[in-house]
Amino acid sequence: MAMFHDDDQPRRFNLSVWLRVLRLARPYLRHAVGLGLMAISIAACETLMPYLSGRIIDRVESFGVDAVFWRLAGAYVAVVVGICTFIAGFILLAGRIASGVSHDIRHASFAKLQQLSFSYFDRRPVGWLMSRLTSDCDRLSRIIGWTLLDFVWGFSLIFGIATAMLFLNWRLGLLVLLVTPPMAAASAFFQRKLLHSARAIRKSNAEITAAFNESIMGVRTTKALVREDANLSEFQEASSRMYEHSVRNALQSALYLPLIIAMGSIMAGLAVWFGGVRVLEGVISIGVLVSFINYAGLFFEPVQQMARQLTELQMAGAAAERIVKLLNTDPAIKDSPEVQAALAAYAHRPRSPGMAPDGFDEQIHTIEFRNVGFTYEGGEKVLEGFNLTVHAGETIALVGATGGGKTTIVSLLCRFYEPTVGEVLLNGVDYRRRSLAWHQRQLGIVLQAPHLFSGSIRENIRYGRLDAAEEEIIAAAKLAGAHEFIVETPGDYEAEVGEGGNRLSTGQKQLIALARAILADPQIFVMDEATSSVDTETEQLIQQGVERVLEGRTSFIIAHRLSTIRSADRILVIERGRVVEVGAHDELLARRGRYFDLYRRQFSEQRLAELLPEGA
Amino acid sequence: MNAYRSFLRLLEGYRRRYAAALAALAVGTCFAYLAPLVTRATIDSLMAELGDDGVMTHRWMADVLGGPSQIVTRLWLPAVAIAGLAIASGVCMYFKGRWAAQASEGAISRLRDRLYDHLQRLPCAWHDRHETGDLVQRCTSDVETVRHFLALQVVEIGRAILLFATVIPIMFWLHPPMALVSLAGAPVVVAFCLLFFRRIQPSFQSMDEAEGRMTTVLQENLTGIRVVRAFARQDFEMDKFAVANRDYRDRHFRLISLMAVFWPASDLLVLSQQAAVLIIGAWWAAAGKITVGTLVAFLAFVAMYIWPVRQMGRILADLGKALVSLRRIEEILHAEPEAAATEELTTLPDRLEGRIEFDGVSFAYDPGRDVLHDVSFSIEPGQTLAILGPSGAGKTTLVQLLLRLYDGARGSIRLDGCDLRSWPRQWLRSQLSVVMQEPFLFSKTLRENIALGRRDAEEQELFEAAEMAAVHEAISSFERGYDTLVGERGVTLSGGQRQRVALARALLQQPAVLVLDDALSAVDAETETMILRALRERRGRHTTLVIAHRLSTLCHADKIIVLSAGRIVQQGTHDELMRQDGPYRRLDEIQGDQAHAIASGGAK
């Protein structure tokens, strides 16, 4: 999984990646041009101010307070007002670009994530994906908005100051500018160091966060193993690493800033020395000398900013690559060109009743797995030579140890993955020749760990069918056995379920997920029964709900409960990617094989719960 | 004042270094303020040389440099002085940065360590009441806020105060009316910034909230991607995200628009102050009230003090955050850790014998809701006690009480005849080892995880423990064997594998009491039989407590307790229980002739 750790290694400038990023910023071209103009105007104003103050001083020295003095003063005030206006303009424009670009990149990435196949998600933790759409997006938009600005501004200001100095007195100007190369070199050097140490801090910080997290989650184990002191000394290593990185970072800036300020003072010193001589020689006026001294003090800021942004740009290379890679990923599972053509063709033609949008039969009469095998990208084989034909209305129970391949069969059925060997046929047609969206709409799925979205209970049930009427929602909840607890909850159907449904118990979440699936009224019902224990009452509710859903519906159930298993038409015992036994409950028991063993264990556990009910 | 004391306490041991940083800052500031005086002396000397009639007053700096005539003939002297003062000031600033960083980072590092240690010594009951996410946030982002305050904000405030303290006397010494002109804008700037940031706090908050909503939609979509696909709700999700994303963008931009008012407005104030000094100063210079050098010096002074002053408003507005964070951190630090034993035993044996007695024990996590009622039983050293019962019967509570993870049980629990509370907690826990149903493994290598049981164990012993727990083979099959990392950054183990690794860890510990709390529930039947056989061979080496809900796991125990809803409903040996008419026998009947029972169960 090493490839999924954030790395911010500065990389060589990758032109094609940045061109792609710039294409994302294309809609903001006009803003960017405006931003550039603002930056140049600001730089021009900043160049003008020391010049004007020099002129003012010369004017009063020679002529006292006269009309020209007032005109110069007026110009100075105008420049001040101008610079403030331009600053307002650039903040607005840069802000528009930065917030807009990050919005657009996030939007495009999110849309892409909705299409990508599960094989993409299997190998990437949610947290990793999240940081692509949060920190990477922010970083890129910052680069496009503010870095651009700083570059244009920095360049213009350096150019402006240099021009002004050379214009005022080119010899003195050249002399003072001598300090620029070492200043730029020092800035480049330190900015690099600073960004490296900042990265080390971030890494240490992540380590510390993880340590706190682990320590809090595992506090019982720590206590039981009497690990407190050992844990603390390990943590102290991490926190002293953090200390060292932070202090190093602080020392670098403590060294860097005074250093370039001192360099600026050397410039000012040179201006005083040689400028003073020129003043005595009568070559320049005292006002020009004052302008030179002021310019010297202005120089370090653009140099510092540009060095910073250059390094920033290098560091963002990794983020840009990751985003571009995400946007360029092609979903492994999507409609083939033929299916797309069929969908387009039927979109404008009236369909006969019972015809799906892709031109085939809407009703699913048979589902057949023909010699299906599945191998993960990493080469791990999880299913082999799987054959099964299911007729409409049948209930299939999948049993067997975890990791045996039950979930894979269900995922293949749902076309979350496609078989690497063999085919899955609907009414005799390979499902790769059917529309993916149509296929997945025919499914109702209840997962082992039911996932709800934040919002009200009603919104969560309605997720099954967005246009469902109020009565239908309540009917579905009643059928699932969820209605009772919902009306007892304060706010009933309006009650918020919290983030991920965390305000409800696992059992309640399952009931709502069940109601959601019922509302979708799917042709195929898929359920992964929960193994975690819920209280007896809810358990019974769930059981009854499931039984009602199964009636007359084609269903696949990864089953743990005896009642579900017993009521299935066929039971498949799956082990190590193969079906080891198939048959109805009685047949399999009579065979005294794997199912018999499994059943015996399950049975005694359940009996115990029945014999010793809670509150007995 | 209370907050002030809290911060002071935080800096304990680092106060001198912190004070030294502020002193370096003060000296560095003074050096920095001398440079404009050098420029002033030079310009005025040049002007005098050129025959200007301006009156040169306050010639202290000019005299230091040898007087005006000396200056004009040796112009390298002021140049060196300007550069030298900047370097001297830079050196001071370097030490300021160094000491401030060492003091604040040191204090924060210590705070982190204290938090970490305190958290692991707080009672489980306290942890039950707090959410992990919230605690982690207090230990990370709140600590970061306090760090930011100590390392940067306090220093910035100190700098602004020192700047004022230095610049005001110098300016008034040079020319009081000019000083008044130069300082007039400062209070306006501070007040404006402070008020502005106070006013826009809600906008910051509203942007943070919008960002939170956006990430929540994103996170829920990604974690629920299977549900999204299962209901083919991609378009719906896209719309939902688009709304949150747009909202975040708009609020973000709104904040930027406010900043587009703030920065130019405060710039205007600052630059107007500079323009006022320039224009009024030039006027007075023309009138001969001040020299050009004085004007240049005042311009430099204003430029030096006014920008840090502009930062002040923002810092002052942010001060409240540091206080809130510190309070949230202190809430953790002020919570009572696990109490020491009352009347602790002073002499501890090398090892517990392992006699356990529960006498009329009742316990409630929440007052009034007992999960154990009047539970009494005893086990002799070396014996095996099995506890049978459905989930929620109170089995795990028994174990947690035995480990003293929770206090407050009524009745009495005795170990080796002494009250449980008289054994020091940590020593007691070191004598017991527990394997839980969902064991926690640390994100370390498998070897390190097992070796947590006993750090000085030989490699051979470690392998033996793994073998007995039937996990050696599985571990050896990993590419990196025992050096495989567990958890997020390594392999994901199955439930059964985790249980067996935890069992190996417990066995390696060679405890006086071994507790298996439904510890083999995810292990398949064959492996379980193997492990149980291996454990039976060790019989007598430690007292064993087995919790399970499968009879096959329990029937060899010396004593069996049947627990239901917190009460013991049956207790005895397998044979005794078989003679009674009760749940145990009925359960055994089902399993004793399972084929028959299942056949009839299947037929119904």
Measured from the Cβ of residue B28, the count of other Cβ atoms closer than 10 Å reads 22
Backbone phi, then psi, for A4, in 5-degree steps? -100, 20
Average pLDDT of adjacent 10-residue blocks, chain A of 616 residues: 47 79 89 93 95 93 89 96 94 92 93 86 79 86 85 93 93 89 91 89 89 89 88 94 94 92 90 92 92 88 87 82 89 86 82 81 90 81 87 89 79 89 91 88 80 89 90 90 86 85 80 88 83 62 80 84 79 85 86 79 63 47
What gap in Å lies between CA A110 and CA B218, rounded to an integer? 8
**A177 and A131 housed in the same domain:** yes
B297 backbone φψ class: left, alpha, beta (φ>0; ψ -120 to 50)? alpha
Give me the DSSP letters along A187-206: HHHHHHHHHHHHHHHHHHHH
B495 CB neighbours in chain A (<8 A) are 402
A137 in helix, strand or coil?
helix
In a domain, A242, yes or no: yes
Which CATH number is A151's domain given? 1.20.1560.10
Q: Is the dihedral of CA B199, B202, B208, B214 positive or negative?
A: negative
Instruction: Give yes or no for a contact between A70 and A111, defined as CB atoms under 8 angstroms apart.
Output: no
> Which residue in chain B is spatially nearest to A585 when comparing CA positions?
B602
Furthest CA-CA distance within chain B = 126
Distances from the Cα of B154 to the Cαs of B17, B104, B150, B161, B304, in angstroms? 14, 10, 6, 11, 19
Instruction: Give yes or no for a contact between A281 and A275, defined as CB atoms under 8 angstroms apart.
Output: no
Measured from the Cβ of residue B50, the count of other Cβ atoms closer than 10 Å reads 14
Asked if the Cβ–Cβ distance from A612 to B583 is below 8 Å, we say yes
Which CATH number is A574's domain given? 3.40.50.300
> Which among B231, B279, B598 has CB closest to A73?
B279
Instruction: Give yes or no for a contact between B358 and B566, defined as CB atoms under 8 angstroms apart.
Output: no
A386 in helix, strand or coil?
strand
- Mean pLDDT of the B92-115 span: 95
The alpha carbon of residue B169 is apart from the nearest alpha carbon of chain A, in Å, by 24
Over residues B364-373, the pLDDT tens digits come to 988 888 889 9
**A184 and A240 housed in the same domain:** yes
What gap in Å lies between CA A427 and CA B268, rounded to an integer? 76
- How is domain B356-572 classified at the CATH fold level? Rossmann fold (3.40.50)
> Which residue in chain B is spatially nearest to A612 when comparing CA positions?
B564
> Which residue in chain A is spatially nearest to B551 when comparing CA positions?
A604
Q: Do the first three CATH levels of B14-186+268-333 and B356-572 match, i.e. the same topology?
A: no
B232 in helix, strand or coil?
coil
Given this model, what pLDDT does residue B600 score? 46
> Which among B90, B112, B587 has CB closest to A608?
B587
Contacts of A495 (CB under 8 A, 6+ apart): A456, A457, A486, A489, A503
Asked if the Cβ–Cβ distance from A589 to B599 is below 8 Å, we say yes
Residue A23 exposed, middle or buried by CB count within 10 Å (0-12, 13-18, 19+): exposed
**A46 and A119 housed in the same domain:** yes
Distances from the Cα of A481 to the Cαs of A284, A547, B191, in angstroms? 94, 11, 62
**A200 and A238 housed in the same domain:** yes
What gap in Å lies between CA B544 and CA B562, rounded to an integer? 16
The alpha carbon of residue B159 is apart from the nearest alpha carbon of chain A, in Å, by 15
Give which of A315, A299, A205 is closest to A261, Cα–Cα: A299
What gap in Å lies between CA B176 and CA B169, rounded to an integer? 9
Instruction: Give yes or no for a contact between B415 and B353, defined as CB atoms under 8 angstroms apart.
Output: no
Pairing of the two strands A395-399 and A421-426: unpaired
Asked if the Cβ–Cβ distance from B279 to A76 is below 8 Å, we say yes
Q: In chain A, what is the straight-line distance between the N-terminal and C-terminal CA atoms, in Å?
A: 50
User: What's the token pair of residue A4?
Assistant: 């999924």
**A267 and A400 housed in the same domain:** no
Q: Is the dihedral of CA B487, B492, B495, B499 positive or negative?
A: negative
> Which among B236, B237, B586 has CB closest to A611?
B586
A251 CB neighbours in chain B (<8 A) are 97-98, 101
* More confident position, B539 or A220: A220
> Which among B248, B253, B282 has CB closest to A60?
B282
Q: In chain B, what is the straight-line distance between the N-terminal and C-terminal CA atoms, in Å?
A: 76
Given this model, what pLDDT does residue B169 score? 92
In a domain, A111, yes or no: yes
- As a dihedral over the C-alpha atoms of residue A603, residue A607, residue A609, residue A611, rounded to 10 degrees, the angle is -170
**A321 and A357 housed in the same domain:** no
The alpha carbon of residue A439 is apart from the nearest alpha carbon of chain B, in Å, by 9
> Which among B259, B292, B299 has CB closest to A91?
B259
Which pLDDT band holds residue B249 (cuts at 50, 70, 90)? very high
B354 backbone φψ class: left, alpha, beta (φ>0; ψ -120 to 50)? left
Checking if the pLDDT of B428 tops 50, the result is yes
Q: How many domains are contained in chain A? A: 2
What gap in Å lies between CA A585 and CA A99, rounded to an integer? 61
Given this model, what pLDDT does residue B598 score? 46
Q: Which of B53-57, B523-527, B594-598 has the lowest mean pLDDT?
A: B594-598
Contacts of B216 (CB under 8 A, 6+ apart): A454, A499, B244
In a domain, A133, yes or no: yes
* More confident position, B493 or B471: B471
User: What's the token pair of residue B29?
Assistant: 């500031």
Measured from the Cβ of residue A123, the count of other Cβ atoms closer than 10 Å reads 13
The pTM score is: 0.81
The alpha carbon of residue A80 is apart from the nearest alpha carbon of chain B, in Å, by 6
Asked if the Cβ–Cβ distance from A445 to B489 is below 8 Å, we say no
B253 CB neighbours in chain A (<8 A) are 95-96, 99-100
Asked if the Cβ–Cβ distance from B222 to A121 is below 8 Å, we say yes
Which amino acid is present at B375? V
**A279 and A403 housed in the same domain:** no
Domain that holds residue A362: 353-441+559-600
What is the interface size between A and B, counted as CB pairs within 8 Å? 432
Q: Running DSSP on this structure, what letter comes out for residue A499?
A: G
In a domain, A106, yes or no: yes
Beta bridge partners of B372: B363
Given this model, what pLDDT does residue A8 score? 54
Which amino acid is present at A561? R
**A259 and A383 housed in the same domain:** no
Give which of A508, A492, A550, A507 is closest to A525, Cα–Cα: A550
**A118 and A235 housed in the same domain:** yes
Asked if the Cβ–Cβ distance from A130 to B218 is below 8 Å, we say yes
In a domain, A477, yes or no: no
The percent of residues above 70 in pLDDT, for chain B, comes to: 93
Give which of A486, A551, A483 is closest to A521, Cα–Cα: A551
What gap in Å lies between CA A26 and CA A41, rounded to an integer? 23
- How is domain B14-186+268-333 classified at the CATH fold level? ABC transporter transmembrane region fold (1.20.1560)
Domain residue extents for chain B: 14-186+268-333, 356-572, 575-604
> Which among B35, B96, B136 has CB closest to A212?
B136
A416 in helix, strand or coil?
coil
**A294 and A372 housed in the same domain:** no
User: What's the token pair of residue B183?
Assistant: 């300082």
Given this model, what pLDDT does residue A1 score? 33
Which pLDDT band holds residue B159 (cuts at 50, 70, 90)? confident
Asked if the Cβ–Cβ distance from B564 to A613 is below 8 Å, we say yes
Measured from the Cβ of residue A379, the count of other Cβ atoms closer than 10 Å reads 6
Asked if the Cβ–Cβ distance from A215 to B116 is below 8 Å, we say yes
> Which residue in chain A is spatially nearest to B242 when comparing CA positions?
A107
What gap in Å lies between CA B48 and CA B67, rounded to an integer? 11
List, in sequence order, the alpha helices (H) in A395-489: 406-413, 436-441, 457-462, 470-480, 483-488
A448 CB neighbours in chain B (<8 A) are none
Pairing of the two strands A570-575 and A578-583: antiparallel
**A421 and A307 housed in the same domain:** no
SS (H, E, C) A518-541: HHHCCCEEEEECCCCCCCHHHHHH
Cα A281 to chain center, whole Å?
A: 66
What gap in Å lies between CA A496 and CA A516, rounded to an integer? 16
Please identify which residue in the block is written with the tokens 């602080």.
Answer: A250
Q: State ipTM.
A: 0.85
**A321 and A362 housed in the same domain:** no
